[in-house]
Structure 1
């Protein structure tokens, strides 16, 4: 390497001039240009819910001869022919590892569990496109291949085989992401498509490997040896390498905690050796990478852990280079006559029609509704990046000319682009809801409700037990169904402390004592509320919300989370484990959990939908305080969640602004008490909680008071001060006095003088006096919290703050914001009525 090559621009070096002894400079320029253009294109396309591969291919097309190639000297300067081998080498290394990720992503168990349906849809979805692809290949072969390949054309049989495979392929990675973004994973459509997609992908890669092997073989006996060696390698990987891999991963603890560095080195060696072997025997090296991904242990968190370690550099750096190369090989200028465009349109129509028709009929045979079946067919027509990889393999193998390659690239882009909008049109959210309710027997197909017996509720509707009838000993207390959103583990202590308050003292395990059977009947007659001991006081469902990112690992978690037996569901989620385990220590309380991996802008809508499915009485949103950049991000996310639930939740919404709700429990432990009692008995100073409740008669206040009266005040560890306005209406005042007279030692009612002008300031000073522990809290109705100032504003129904800005005060209310920043010690609970 000469000194001049290292002299830099001050020594006269031109960074855009390719130098074989120092190719890095121009390579960096190429990479930066490709990544910037792909990212700039991805943003507007993502608004149309298009996968990233669309932007990457279009970016390559723009950089190629179709667009920027018309700029004088652009391609010869930025992408000179001499620099292409290095760019191709790096891109193909990335492609090998990407196919390894594809193999990791495939869940064969899903296809096995739905073998009949998956097999039917996959086989039908490949057979018809393959047959029509063979038919159209005759014209393509005679019109283009014989003319463009010169004296070295491949046989028509191999050409037809490749065209048929290219038509039959379905892009599983892109398909899985579309299903996840459209929230179809848990539907019948999602299950069928995922299962069939796995089968289609595996069969497609086998056929493509066979095609490439036959093309590279110089004779029939050579082709036979290639096929036999390929089969032998698959058996070797499956029966020798896979058991060794699983044993090493288990012994190192990688199955449970993720891969160690040594295991990652072993993984890379398996990928590279497998790619080397398949390349050496005459099959493309990407098949070796794909096979390596298939044999890596998929148990527990291992496959996801491996993916997390390598996915970003592969999908964000190497893969765009590969698709940019595809774009550089795509020349739309070659589609320059009517016959060529006629073939292009025919290819698009055949690809769409054959996939949709075959998938629809196969799904219908398996019992899906017609609209669901059309959706399955539409989704199976997705081509995506797998199709582009197949086309590039065909181009490199000499099966496709650049003209025909361009035709098929256009087909792949059109089919992938249309998948999401047409699926949304065919299978909208309202139809999904209608189908779900119809299958559950809750509605008739015409939409009319099926007569159902009334269900118990805490509100005391007609035909349902109320808290008052429970106190009279008539019926047991109805279970109170609470849905809790979980996003951060820091919220667990505070939310469990709050939920513990909802269990009445006389039915909780730490207040009840064991009784001899002969004494139980007497005890139940003496204490009528103890009849509630027969049913669960609380039915709590924790919904862990995790953001679906562009990462493959997030997609793997999302596609496998629907499997109840999957170890990715609950057992390896520390937030859900911590939350659900609380139920083991509480009597008469049932706690369950589930996990959803979805885009964060759908958190609120998904939570509201879950509340409908569960028949929840209340949605509880813990909002932990944080600072710095992380705090800003959490604030923005929580604002979106709370605002969305205000608009769409079918029940009451309670936001807990946690400011150390359980922190006083640390003092409890220091006194020498058992730590388990602290963790699961509620915390606080001996488990006591004091509530300050400004009550001004708004709708939210009324519902909040019902909630306190029916669910919180039954706990003898709770005391309260209720503030109310002057000139309180007689009925409400008498109702308050009548209720609180039953708790003269625990509840105090105070009236605020009419001459007080700064109401929020008065409440702030009162809160500083009343709230003496982080275990205490202030209960605010959302309408009350949204107003400050005079009594007129405080009581006016129109005073509810309109949520138009992404700030805490505009979501929780100005009063809540003032209390938070005013030095009040306890937490704040904002109650929004249905």
Structure 2
């Protein structure tokens, strides 16, 4: 009797065949299902032999890799302007390449996805997703579950429990009162669990694509999804194992043995394998890459753990994910694994997985009845997770309704781990092909709609709107000056410490330094903002950067206080931590290092630093200073230890930023070892459009204040330079390039001013403004360091107002109190 079989979306007709007595070797006859496929060539032999290259295995597989990558990448490129996350384009690419669209063309399907290579393609896609899930485990930090606060536990548990309590009873009601075929009836109960689940990795990838990973709402979503995702994953493992035992006719004892085997593998991995991983980390010198031999061991451990999972009855992907979880997050081993493997498996092997999933998605075979039931369950799962998240947010956690809605949408996002659950359920016959097709397509639409809504509803930069003006000019000299100092590398420390010394901390006007060590997030999925212990209790693992600033604090006891932080985040979202910390600590100035570094033998550009600076300038809740270090201060003594006076110059053209630079210079002029020279550039012929009258008045007031309070002593000097055009301005600046040790300039100036007109066309670094760009250019040969200042913008009419900096801020509750052992969650 003929039997129909569906392989990768292609229906094949196979006939049971009994071998003759001569080929049975005396054994009893038995009906079998067989497909006769001619053995393909491995190599094509080339066009010169008049062979079709795609009839051979090797070139065909290479073509499939290229086709899958181009299709998914092309969909992502098209959807990117619409604020869509990566998973939407990947699912779309798989569906387009499957039998629902391009795969419907018989000639294309026979040529690109012939039956003879389908099983090889599925095997290789399984290999790719296995290593991808291993890397997923490497990035995850299950320690977040222990350190999560009560808010995350409430939201996470409610997001897990409420959908199950709603969808499971509804699935039973549907089975009882709605007429269904046998396949749909057996699938609907599993559907209730699949649409109710939440996965941590889906939320992490969703937030990373939308650049919300280390926003306030993003951190809460990560903590909550770790709890709800862990519970959902455990529930699905138990349900899948029980369902598999039921279908095989096994009893409770077999199911219990499988579960106990999985628990035993977790214990074995933690007790026996994790010490090996820690030994590898200890054998790797600091700053050196992990040895190739260790990579081979990791590769074998991944394959071995997958094999053990299959032998014990668990899914083959269970072992690699457990192994990945045991790799210490943020360690050199995790960094190397993610750095070397993530791109290959994410952009080369993973698209094949989505093509295979798309091959199982055949929308042309879906009946309206099945589509209605599955869509009803999907909508119910979405609404139940939405309500289960929003209720504790509003009634127990006192969140704003807009933020609660946004968080509910984020936790409704669907990712590759969800698609993997759908695929596993389909392979184990828990859901049929029609249910899988509708689920896969619905996941694409839900995540697409959610990503657009989240990007529209939530903008983390709105939180950086300070309720007071945060500038040096408007800070009272009788109060503490709060500075947020950002450091990427050790080479930037001496220059910044000298700048802090010149800021003249005194008992009447002390300085509070908030040090933020910025580290790129690699080898983990969860960003961290870690607060370190006070100076009197050193950390167990102090960094040279933090210790250098602590030595500076110890040399200036009672006039300088230091509070160090470490931010581990992607460079694309690192500005969120900087702006949030500046707002919570009520900083008046953020000091950022320029991305270009001058050394004795070469110049180094780090473009990632530049992107951080640009975003901070755009979003900062206070004034911002970018310090350009041309190497002069790395070979000189500090300001306090120098016998000669440090020469500070201020180039003044006009505007709020220049006034902020003068205000900072006036504070420096009070230091006994610092002299300040204010150079004002004036146009030879004043035009009516040179300045706004209000701006000109405030410029003159600031200059007069400097003259009255500072000029007359030997440590302050005022000069005026008359210039005709921007060429004269450049010449005047270059003529004084060796006259100062530090130059302060404002970032923004009126473009129509004759003193800077035309310079905009020649700027290499717009973040430095006209004058800063000149001082950072290759043509500038001086070794002087430069501080480019941008004053915090505020509402009109507030320019001359003075605000107290020590009043409480309603945002102070954002930052958690953190111990040196790790970040305490929400």
Task: State the TM-score, normalizing by the size of structure 1.
Answer: 0.75
User: Is residue 386–residue 409 contact of structure 2 (8 Å, CA) maintained in 1?
Assistant: yes
Residues 1:27 and 2:85 are matched in the alignment: no
Decide which of 256, 268, 280 is 1:227's aligned counterpart. Answer: 256
Give the aligned partner of residue 319 of structure 1.
350
- Aligned-pair CA distance for 1:621: 2.6
- Aligned-pair CA distance for 1:115: 7.4
Matches within 5 A, 1:511-526: none
Decide which of 787, 803, 815 is 1:829's aligned counterpart. Answer: 787
Shift of the 101–81 alpha-carbon distance from structure 1 to 2, 3 Å rule, reads: same
Decide which of 655, 660, 665 is 1:703's aligned counterpart. Answer: 660
Give the aligned partner of residue 268 of structure 1.
299
Give the aligned partner of residue 358 of structure 1.
388
User: Is residue 458–residue 478 contact of structure 1 (8 Å, CA) maintained in 2?
Assistant: no
Decide which of 345, 348, 354 is 2:378's aligned counterpart. Answer: 348
Give the aligned partner of residue 778 of structure 1.
743
Distance, in Å, in 1 between the alignment partners of 2:364 and 2:543 is 53
Distance, in Å, in 1 between the alignment partners of 2:215 and 2:575 is 19
Give the aligned partner of residue 525 of structure 2.
555
Distance, in Å, in 1 between the alignment partners of 2:448 and 2:320 is 28
- Aligned-pair CA distance for 1:204: 2.8
User: Is residue 470–residue 586 contact of structure 2 (8 Å, CA) maintained in 1?
Assistant: no
Shift of the 690–570 alpha-carbon distance from structure 1 to 2, 3 Å rule, reads: farther
Give the aligned partner of residue 800 of structure 2.
none
Distance, in Å, in 1 between the alignment partners of 2:703 and 2:327 is 70
Decide which of 586, 598, 608 is 1:615's aligned counterpart. Answer: 586
Range with bigger deviation, 359-368 or 729-738: 729-738
Give the aligned partner of residue 743 of structure 1.
713
Distance, in Å, in 2 between the alignment partners of 1:2 and 1:36 is 26
- Aligned-pair CA distance for 1:78: 0.6
- Higher RCO (CA-CA < 8 Å; seq separation 6+): 2
Residues 1:109 and 2:143 are matched in the alignment: yes
Residues 1:718 and 2:674 are matched in the alignment: yes
Distance, in Å, in 2 between the alignment partners of 1:141 and 1:33 is 45
User: Is residue 214–residue 573 contact of structure 2 (8 Å, CA) maintained in 1?
Assistant: no
Shift of the 77–623 alpha-carbon distance from structure 1 to 2, 3 Å rule, reads: same
User: Is residue 802–residue 810 contact of structure 1 (8 Å, CA) maintained in 2?
Assistant: no
Distance, in Å, in 2 between the alignment partners of 1:732 and 1:189 is 41
Q: Which runs of 5+ in 2 are unaligned?
A: 1-38, 534-538, 687-696, 793-826
User: Is residue 597–residue 629 contact of structure 2 (8 Å, CA) maintained in 1?
Assistant: no
Q: Which runs of 5+ in 1 are unaligned?
A: 150-154, 443-448, 450-454, 467-476, 508-530, 666-677
Decide which of 57, 70, 78 is 1:36's aligned counterpart. Answer: 70
- Aligned-pair CA distance for 1:392: 0.7
Give the aligned partner of residue 527 of structure 1.
none
Matches within 5 A, 1:209-358: 209-217=237-245, 221=250, 224-238=253-267, 240-254=268-282, 260-298=291-329, 303-335=334-366, 337=368, 339-358=369-388
Matches within 5 A, 1:663-812: 663-665=634-636, 678=637, 681-682=638-639, 688-695=645-652, 698-710=655-667, 712-724=668-680, 736=706, 738-740=708-710, 743-744=713-714, 746-752=715-721, 759-764=728-733, 766-768=735-737, 770-771=739-740, 776-782=741-747, 793-794=754-755, 807-808=764-765, 811-812=768-769
Give the aligned partner of residue 68 of structure 1.
102
Residues 1:413 and 2:451 are matched in the alignment: no
Shift of the 269–142 alpha-carbon distance from structure 1 to 2, 3 Å rule, reads: farther
Give the aligned partner of residue 174 of structure 1.
202
Give the aligned partner of residue 675 of structure 1.
none
Range with bigger deviation, 139-148 or 85-94: 139-148
User: Is residue 389–residue 404 contact of structure 2 (8 Å, CA) maintained in 1?
Assistant: yes
Range with bigger deviation, 345-354 or 215-224: 215-224
Shift of the 502–66 alpha-carbon distance from structure 1 to 2, 3 Å rule, reads: same
Q: Deviations over 1:670-695 (max 9, x none)?
A: xxxxxxxx5xx359975742233334
- Aligned-pair CA distance for 1:406: 0.7
Residues 1:483 and 2:484 are matched in the alignment: yes
Report the 3-state secondary structure (helix = DSSP H, G, I; strand = E; otherwise coil) of the residue aligned with 2:672. Answer: coil
- Aligned-pair CA distance for 1:827: 2.4
User: Is residue 542–residue 594 contact of structure 1 (8 Å, CA) maintained in 2?
Assistant: yes
Shift of the 697–634 alpha-carbon distance from structure 1 to 2, 3 Å rule, reads: same
Give the aligned partner of residue 528 of structure 1.
none
Distance, in Å, in 1 between the alignment partners of 2:770 and 2:719 is 23
Distance, in Å, in 2 between the alignment partners of 1:308 and 1:755 is 54
- Aligned-pair CA distance for 1:40: 1.6
Report the 3-state secondary structure (helix = DSSP H, G, I; strand = E; otherwise coil) of the residue aligned with 2:52. Answer: coil
User: Is residue 258–residue 314 contact of structure 2 (8 Å, CA) maintained in 1?
Assistant: no
Shift of the 458–313 alpha-carbon distance from structure 1 to 2, 3 Å rule, reads: closer
Report the 3-state secondary structure (helix = DSSP H, G, I; strand = E; otherwise coil) of the residue aligned with 1:703. Answer: helix
Shift of the 425–802 alpha-carbon distance from structure 1 to 2, 3 Å rule, reads: farther
User: Is residue 816–residue 828 contact of structure 1 (8 Å, CA) maintained in 2?
Assistant: no
Distance, in Å, in 2 between the alignment partners of 1:170 and 1:720 is 60
User: Is residue 486–residue 543 contact of structure 1 (8 Å, CA) maintained in 2?
Assistant: yes
Count of residues in correspondence between the two structures: 725
Shift of the 691–56 alpha-carbon distance from structure 1 to 2, 3 Å rule, reads: same
Distance, in Å, in 1 between the alignment partners of 2:726 and 2:198 is 69
Matches within 5 A, 1:481-630: 481-503=482-504, 531-532=507-508, 537-545=510-518, 553=523, 555-556=525-526, 558=527, 560-561=528-529, 582-587=552-557, 588-596=559-567, 600=571, 607-625=578-596
Decide which of 619, 633, 636 is 1:662's aligned counterpart. Answer: 633
Distance, in Å, in 2 between the alignment partners of 1:224 and 1:357 is 38
- Aligned-pair CA distance for 1:162: 2.3
Report the 3-state secondary structure (helix = DSSP H, G, I; strand = E; otherwise coil) of the residue aligned with 2:317. Answer: helix
Distance, in Å, in 2 between the alignment partners of 1:252 and 1:489 is 26
Q: Deviations over 1:618-653 (max 9, x none)?
A: 22232153599x989746963x65555555434333
Q: Deviations over 1:766-816 (max 9, x none)?
A: 314624xxxx122333456x779xxx734xxxx699979973267420574
CA RMSD of the aligned region, Å? 4.3
Residues 1:54 and 2:88 are matched in the alignment: yes
Q: Deviations over 1:144-189 (max 9, x none)?
A: 984669xxxxx94xx4552232122113112023345667666775
User: Is residue 122–residue 199 contact of structure 1 (8 Å, CA) maintained in 2?
Assistant: yes
Decide which of 38, 54, 60 is 1:16's aligned counterpart. Answer: 54
- Aligned-pair CA distance for 1:541: 2.1
Structure number with the higher helix fraction is: 1
Distance, in Å, in 1 between the alignment partners of 2:309 and 2:722 is 86
Give the aligned partner of residue 446 of structure 1.
none
Distance, in Å, in 1 between the alignment partners of 2:149 and 2:58 is 50
- Aligned-pair CA distance for 1:27: 0.7
- Aligned-pair CA distance for 1:282: 2.9
- Aligned-pair CA distance for 1:714: 2.1
User: Is residue 163–residue 196 contact of structure 2 (8 Å, CA) maintained in 1?
Assistant: yes
User: Is residue 71–residue 93 contact of structure 2 (8 Å, CA) maintained in 1?
Assistant: yes
Distance, in Å, in 2 between the alignment partners of 1:137 and 1:48 is 39
User: Is residue 254–residue 260 contact of structure 1 (8 Å, CA) maintained in 2?
Assistant: no
Give the aligned partner of residue 513 of structure 1.
none
Shift of the 498–724 alpha-carbon distance from structure 1 to 2, 3 Å rule, reads: same
Distance, in Å, in 2 between the alignment partners of 1:422 and 1:456 is 33
Shift of the 341–742 alpha-carbon distance from structure 1 to 2, 3 Å rule, reads: same
Shift of the 828–11 alpha-carbon distance from structure 1 to 2, 3 Å rule, reads: same
